[in-house]
Amino acid sequence: MALFGVFLLGITVQLHTVSCDLYLHIPRGSNNRLNERSAARTNNQRMFDSQNNNRGGYNVGDATKDSANNDEGKQYRMKYFQSSSGHNSNEGLSYLMVHWTNQHGCGGNEDTDPQKQNCNLLLQYMCQEDTDTPTGTKDTLRNGVQTAKQDYTKPSATETKSQMNNRRNQNVKSQRGLHEPWSWYDMCYIRERNKGLFTADQSLKKNNLGYSSAVNTRQNPGGTQYGYECPEERDYYPYWHPTPWKDIAVLAQNASLCRYYQSESFNVKDHGLCIETFHDGSIRKASRWNNKAQCEENSGQWEFFSNYLEKAPEFTSERDCVNSKAGGHRHIWAVPYDAEDLTTKECLVALEAPDCSEAPWSRSNHLGDGRGGHTLNYTWTLPFFPSGDTKRCVFRMRYNISTDDYDPYYTNSSHNYNLQTGVVSPVTQNPYVDIGAGHSPLRLAINTAQYGRVFQDRSHVFLLRPRPAGWNARNIHNLNIRGKRGNIVQVYPAVEYDFYPTSLQMKDGDLVHIQWTGSNSHNNGQPAGDGQAGDDGEGNGGTDRNNLVQIKDMNENYPMPFENSNLWTGAEIFWHHKGIMGVSAKDLAVSMATSGYYSCVKRTTCGGDSAEGTAVKVDKLLNNAPASYEGAVVRFTRGTYHYMCTRNNNYTNRSQKGTIIVA
């Protein structure tokens, strides 16, 4: 909803006071967890401000049967294949069905299907070149191996470039998680907040430079640091300065908002920054001034920057750049948002406006599914990167709800509580209301720091890989696993194990990438926060294990013998995670059944990874199998197939089963 500020136009969503939550299940949301052996996360400030319950989130995946501990190289990163070069609207697409639960409801029509609140959902991602080392450079996306947040040393008013670089080098720790770069938070801390925004009766603190900056918002008036996230950008959308995030979709409370969201997205609209210089004449992108007028009044230079999918350095002239249709993408000649040299334009692969539609309906005060029992989901068509490079990425989702207690479009800074001018905020902290009972008022539970609130979850780091040759016309569907070890009370607000999509429907000729990840360290022990500790289930405590075997129908709980199955016999194997050639249907069935402990049956096909050649046999409960499985890409023949997990299918209270339908 629009807030008309003194300098800028921003859209925010004014949120309700009830404690609400958003949890990602596909891709698995971290909720700031890393590798805790407790039910509650250790540090809710580790990477970002989620506002969620401390029990939420999934541990980072482990690549083997053992916990990665202090070796990020032994963590497992989910690996998805990109869409293809030259794809059209029907072919060569890679689909990832995003799944989440939100607590306080969403969707619905105000006239015919009223809700208790308004709601908007925003899906975004961030990518960079993958590196050969787990942690890479200081600005490389990483999960880290420590739950401490990154350090930040506050700047001085007379700082030199050398001093700024020293702060950065001393602050950024390779053992800690990182999404946004240090420079992003530094600019946020130095930039004055947008004073046109509604802050109700909240008193926003000042930074060490003497003014409230973009780290101080109505929702975060004290300026608490959460990783290197910028609180003002987190709380408002579309943001009015360049950001490192790329928009996927806006699921709006009303379709009439879509034109605005799409046109204001940084995907397609350049945004400005004030550029100053250090005493040595070098460029400084961190400035106090957040608008063109004040920037130029204080000897700064207001510059516009562009977002992009990736850079295209092979095109060195504007003409060659804008005329390129490489990979079916539009190219632009512009200054990228992360540029160091502001005088040099580069060739950038352009982004498209985000998808936009009305938000899916979900019930208020119920952290569960949507209408008809269907999971809340959005199908993300994964991007194609013309460079052909693997990208290291992270996914982000924000959940915004609003009420009609004040005009969500035109309530701005002129309505902030001000005793001197006699302005009374339309909402105040815990107000007393007269109900007509004389001197017996009642008090409302309103926290104005949260009366207008944003919730968030983010994935762990994952990879987007280029496709092998020959797949360009094939659509790829990603089949993953949601949930974690324990009964429904113990895992809440997560879910119990399940395949996802639970019922995967696709066309003949489409491909399926079957893959999953899990942890060896989520023991779900004390402290348990406000929920029940424990991790009921099969196998070693604290371990996730999954596999996939065919069953005859969804009411059965015994797998079919391979000789009687038809899931694998007609399957065409396009890719195997070990890169082994000549893998048979039986090899694939054995690999899926053992979570990759065996890659195939015969030693002649895959040596020591085979059932025939492995000295220590797979444990019947998969205890010695890896927690994560990179899987295979398969084309199934026409038909309907049902399958289950042997370890987790405790049919009395858990049913880890799924269906594939090839039309």
The Cβ-side half-sphere exposure at 287, using a 13 Å CA radius, reads 25
pLDDT for res 220 = 96
- Percent pLDDT > 70 in the chain is 96
pLDDT for res 20 = 57
Token couple for 207: 């930074």
Question: How does DSSP assign 512-561, residue by residue?
Answer: EEEEE---S----BS--TTS-----SSSSTT------EEESSTT--SPPP
> Is 80 exceeded by the pLDDT of residue 14?
no
Question: How does DSSP assign 559-570, residue by residue?
Answer: PPPGGG--TTTT
Q: What's the CA gap between 457 and 350, in Å, rounded?
A: 26
Give Cα separations from 409 to 121, 189, 198, 400, 404 (angstroms): 17, 27, 11, 14, 10
Question: How does DSSP assign 86-137, residue by residue?
Answer: T--SSSS-EEEEEEEEESS-B---TTTS--SSEEEEEEEEEEEE--SSSS-S
- Categorize the per-residue pLDDT at 410 as very low, low, confident or very high, splitting at 50, 70 and 90: confident
Q: What's the CA gap between 234 and 653, in Å, rounded?
A: 39
Q: What's the CA gap between 414 and 405, in Å, rounded?
A: 17
Average pLDDT for the chain: 92
Greater confidence, 71 or 341?
A: 71
Task: Kindly state the helix (H) or strand (E) to which residue 234 belongs, with its residue range.
Answer: helix 231-235
> Is 50 exceeded by the pLDDT of residue 448?
yes
Write the DSSP symbol of residue 232.
H
Question: What are the tens digits of pLDDT across the range 599-623?
Answer: 999 998 888 889 998 889 999 999 9
Please report the sign of the dihedral spanned by the C-alpha atoms of residue 600, residue 606, residue 612, residue 613.
negative
Q: What's the CA gap between 528 and 542, in Å, rounded?
A: 14
pLDDT for res 4 = 23
Count the Cβ atoms, other than its own, within 10 Å of residue 511. Answer: 22
* Local structure of 58: helix, strand or coil: coil
CA angle 87, 90, 91 (to 5 degrees): 45
Q: Which residues contact 127 (CB under 8 A, 6 or more apart)?
A: 246, 310, 385, 391, 392, 393, 464
Q: What's the CA gap between 636 and 509, in Å, rounded?
A: 8
Pairing of strands 453-458, 283-284: unpaired
Residues β-bridged to residue 457: 397
Q: What's the CA gap between 589 and 595, in Å, rounded?
A: 10
Give Cα separations from 160 to 139, 156, 164, 202, 338 (angstroms): 21, 9, 6, 34, 20
Q: What are phi and psi of 26, to 5 degrees?
A: -140, 115
How far from the centroid of its chain's Cα atoms is residue 436's Cα? 48
Token couple for 297: 């009044």
Across the range 147-160, mean pLDDT stands at 96
Maximum Cα interatomic distance, the chain, rounded to a whole number of Å: 90
Choose the weakest-confidence range: 16-30, 52-66, 144-158, 640-654: 16-30
- Categorize the per-residue pLDDT at 551 as very low, low, confident or very high, splitting at 50, 70 and 90: very high
Q: What's the CA gap between 127 and 146, in Å, rounded?
A: 22
Choose the weakest-confidence range: 60-69, 119-128, 442-451: 442-451
Choose the weakest-confidence range: 163-167, 333-337, 370-374: 370-374
Greater confidence, 86 or 233?
A: 233
pLDDT for res 366 = 87
Token couple for 437: 């009972």
Greater confidence, 109 or 79?
A: 79
Across the range 225-246, mean pLDDT stands at 97
Please report the sign of the dihedral spanned by the C-alpha atoms of residue 202, residue 208, residue 214, residue 215.
negative
Token couple for 33: 């967890």
Give Cα separations from 468 to 81, 382, 386, 633 (angstroms): 9, 16, 14, 11
Pairing of strands 2-4, 118-129: unpaired
Q: What is the pTM of this model?
A: 0.95
Across the range 205-233, mean pLDDT stands at 97
Token couple for 621: 């409960």
Question: What are the tens digits of pLDDT across the range 267-303?
Answer: 999 999 999 998 888 899 999 999 999 999 999 999 9
Radius of gyration for the chain, computed over Cα atoms and rounded to the nearest angstrom: 26
pLDDT for res 397 = 98
C-beta of residue 623 within 8 angstroms of C-beta of residue 65: yes
Across the range 111-140, mean pLDDT stands at 89
> Is 90 exceeded by the pLDDT of residue 24?
yes
> Which residue, chain included where needed, has tokens 């046999």?
617
Across the range 192-207, mean pLDDT stands at 95
Count the Cβ atoms, other than its own, within 10 Å of residue 201. Answer: 18
pLDDT for res 12 = 41
Across the range 211-238, mean pLDDT stands at 97
Total H helices, total E strands in the chain: 9, 30
> Is 80 exceeded by the pLDDT of residue 156?
yes
Q: Which residues contact 437 (CB under 8 A, 6 or more apart)?
A: none
Identity of the residue numbered 580: I
Q: What's the CA gap between 222 and 224, in Å, rounded?
A: 6
> Is 50 exceeded by the pLDDT of residue 93?
yes
Q: Which residues contact 612 (CB under 8 A, 6 or more apart)?
A: 601, 602, 603
